[in-house]
Amino acid sequence: MRPKSHSLEIHKRRIRRPFSVGEVESLVQAVEQLGTGRWRDVKLQAFENAKHRTYVDLKDKWKTLVHTAQIAPHQRRGDPVPQELLDRVIAANNYWAAHQAKEQAELEA
């Protein structure tokens, strides 16, 4: 059999790029202003010159941040994210969750 030449695959899987505390800061700041349903705008406003961060990546990072903020500090990994930022993540997440729920209610009304 032909040993599958993986070198021919062009599925350019991107390398891991742990978000720095600074990036988290920018992400939180942007979401506080734009919300959780406008990752395209978040990318443009806070990561316009970060070619390796797509709006999908930012959406995923927010998902992990919300989770990180809810688990015990000792089960978190990587460089510790300031509790102050995690608090803002929870606050912004709750705020926009209610905001979206409100829009849903108005939409079906």
Partner DNA sequence: GTTAGGG
Partner DNA sequence: CCCTAAC
SS (H, E, C) 55-82: HHHHHHHHHHHHHHCCCCHHHCCCCCCC
Q: Interface with DNA includes 51 (CB under 7 A)? A: no
Q: Interface with DNA includes 6 (CB under 7 A)? A: no
Q: Which of 23, 32, 45, 59 binds DNA (CB under 7 A)?
A: 59
Q: Which of 55, 66, 95, 96 binds DNA (CB under 7 A)?
A: 55
Please state, in angstroms and as integers, the Cα–Cα distance from residue 103 to each residue in 16, 29, 37, 59, 98, following that order: 36, 22, 12, 20, 9
- Contact region for DNA (CB under 7 A) — 23-31, 53-61, 66-74, 77-85? 53-61
Instruction: Report the candidate in 32, 65, 26, 25 with the shortest Cα–Cα distance to residue 46.
Output: 26
Q: Interface with DNA includes 27 (CB under 7 A)? A: no
Q: Interface with DNA includes 13 (CB under 7 A)? A: yes
Q: Which of 24, 27, 31, 36 binds DNA (CB under 7 A)?
A: 36
- Residue 67: half-sphere exposure toward Cβ, Cα within 13 Å: 9
Interface residues with DNA (CB under 7 A)? 11-17, 36-41, 52, 55-57, 59-60, 63
